[in-house]
Structure 1
Amino acid sequence: MADNYSLVDGESLLQRIKNEVIIVQILVMIFLCIDLLLIITFFKKECFYTTTRYILFAVTLLSDSVLLFFSDILLLLSYFHFTMQVWLCIIICVFMFLCTLLTPVTLTAMSLERYVAICMPLRHGELCSTRSTVHCILIIHGISFVPCIVIFTMFCATAFLSFYKQYQVCSFELFSLHVWQDHVRSAVYQFYFLVMFMIIVVSYIKIMKVAKVASGEDKKSTWKGLRTVVLHGFQLLLLLIQLWCPFIETWLLQINLRLFSPIRYINYVIFFLAPRCLSPLIYGLRDELFSQALKKYAFSGLCKRNVI
């Protein structure tokens, strides 16, 4: 009887995991298709790839798309218990660490761009030129790469050379050989997000002050910029919670193994996938110019396909 129950429980568990993986594949494919459509639209009009906020928007789309793609591959490899050498997993994970931080750092830069556009309109053309945007993107990548160096250095300082040649299921947990490494990584991430969140809060307060004294069309534009900053703050909050998820999951793994899998799945959907679908909504659909171009090229593509 006990064997029958264990067999039923095992089959139901496998079915649930299979359903979860299928749902994730559907969500990832939807988000990747939307991001691809937005990226194509970005390159269709010159005003998009010569304007700072649209260039930064494209950076978030690219980093989110790459991160979704690689995280989905790791999910499938983990589901099928496919192993690889640790050195190859390290390269993939470091690249994913970089993409994980690129989006929040870019969101902070986009909030600063809105602050300059609304609170310092006379200097917006000078500070947010195409050349300045390229420099800004390089700075964003440099800032995002610093935690990767810290995590990789800590790992290399504690791992034996033989460990790199071992075959294991690739995951971020490989970088946590000791508890203190988790603490250092958490401290670095919390410092980053505290600074970024403070910048967004200050930008929000400054824009709100301008919104109170603005009038007519300026007031409408200012409040729209204010709502954009609020959405960036909410998106950044979700991304911050995502960085706490591995520590919560590790704690659950030690206490209750049954809760570990469903909680990890919920965290992945809510705090990993959801924040990355907000960027297309904030700029892809809320922005009037971009949404018009998106509808134009989407419908023209459908019409050509129907004609063919």
Structure 2
Amino acid sequence: MFSLQQVSGNVSRVFIYRDTFESAVAKNVFLVLLGLAINYINGLLIHTYRKHEMFHTNPRYILFAHLVLNDMLQLTFSISLFVMSYTSREIICPLCIIILSLSVWTTHNIPFNLCVMAVECYISVCFPLHHARLCTVKRTYGLIGGIWTLTTIIILPDIFILALTKPPEFFVSVVYCERSSVFGHPVILLKRDVQYLFYLSCIWFILVYTYCHIFFAARSAKTDSKKARNTILLHGFQLSLCMLSYVDHLC
């Protein structure tokens, strides 16, 4: 932790508060065990998906399996960065860039995947006669590919800006592996704030739009509509958690 305090006049000092050894070990052990437990449960879900052929022909289950697999990767990279912040505070720059990029990559995939799932539920409830034609397996895999392509386009400019603004020595040095210290150029930060605001607006608009239509359709008390409504509510909660990372950079 960092704390900036005024000492005298215009002179400021930065005090660094570090966890005790016991506290650091407890935090890391707890987080790693929790991550392993969550990934084990997610692994069982993926195993069940692969085991049953019927899931492979349903766009909803395909999107859910992709979400679970992406969550496993995102959790693994995030915990790795957290543990490295205590154990190996400085690592070689290329490895740090790869880990940070993969972490941001998988983090951005989550809200996009949830949005696609919300739209699929919306079509299923509000346009049931067109669902089989619009939500095909081929189009579902195409949308998943589109999600990864879009998040790649989001990340690549940061890497290009980094390559243009940093000296060659930077990429063979050891760095403190944190996004704010590696990708800390003002242009990158400005781009990040703008894109976060854009995503925050678009994703929530899609979620609210689909939820409202499903909610009104669910008033007929049909079972499928109720299930879809509950699914959208769950997506809304998941998106709320994801959007906290966006809001944090805008505040």
TM score, norm. by length of structure 1: 0.71
Q: What does the per-residue CA deviation read over 1:119-146, in whole Å, with 9 as the maximum and x for residues that have no partner?
A: 0101111111111111111111122222
User: SS of the residue aligned with 1:177?
Assistant: coil
Q: How does 1:1-308 map to 2 (within 5 A)?
A: 13-212=20-219, 214-215=220-221, 219-245=222-248
| RMSD (Å) for aligned C-alpha atoms | 2.0
CA distance in 2: counterparts of 1:167 and 1:12, whole angstroms: 23
Which structure 1 residue ranges, 5 or more long, are not aligned? 1-9, 249-308
Which residue identity is paired with 1:153?
F
Please give the secondary structure, in 1, of the residue aligned with 2:232: helix
User: For the residues of structure 2 that align with 1:247 and 1:210, how far apart are their CA atoms?
Assistant: 35
Instruction: Give the Cα–Cα distance (whole angstroms) in 1 for the partners of residues 48 and 126 of structure 2.
Output: 29
Q: How far has the Cα of 1:11 moved from its partner? A: 9.6
Residues 77 and 169 of structure 1 are in contact (CA less than 8 Å); yes or no, is this contact kept in structure 2? Answer: no
Q: TM-score, length-normalised on structure 2?
A: 0.86
Query: Which amino acid in the other structure matches residue 127 of structure 2?
Result: M
Gaps of 5+ in 2: 1-16
Secondary structure in structure 1 of the residue aligned to 2:56:
coil
Residue 147 of structure 1, CA deviation: 1.4
Alpha carbons of structure 1 residues 247 and 206: separation in structure 2 relative to 1, 3 Å: closer
Q: How many residues align?
A: 235
Inter-partner Cα distance in structure 2 for 1:174 and 1:144: 21
Does the CA contact (< 8 Å) of 1:158 and 1:177 recur in 2?
A: no
AA at the equivalent of 2:243: L
- Give the Cα–Cα distance (whole angstroms) in 1 for the partners of residues 137 and 244 of structure 2: 33
**Greater strand percent: which structure?**
2
Residue 43 of structure 1: SS of its match in structure 2? helix
Alpha-carbon offset, residue 224 of structure 1: 1.8
Shift in Å, 1:22 = 1.4
> Once the 2 structures are TM-superposed, how far is the Cα of residue 12 of structure 1 from its aligned partner?
6.8
Contact 2:162 2:185 in 1 (8 A): no
Determine what percentage of the aligned residue pairs are the same residue. 29
Tell me which protein shows more helix as a share of its residues: 1
Deviations 1:137-191 (A, max 9, x none): 1111122222112322232232111111111232212333334432321221221
Query: Which secondary structure does the structure 2 equivalent of 1:84 belong to?
Result: strand
Secondary structure, in 3 states, of the residue corresponding to 1:48?
A: helix
1:35–1:61 Cα contact (<8 Å) kept: yes
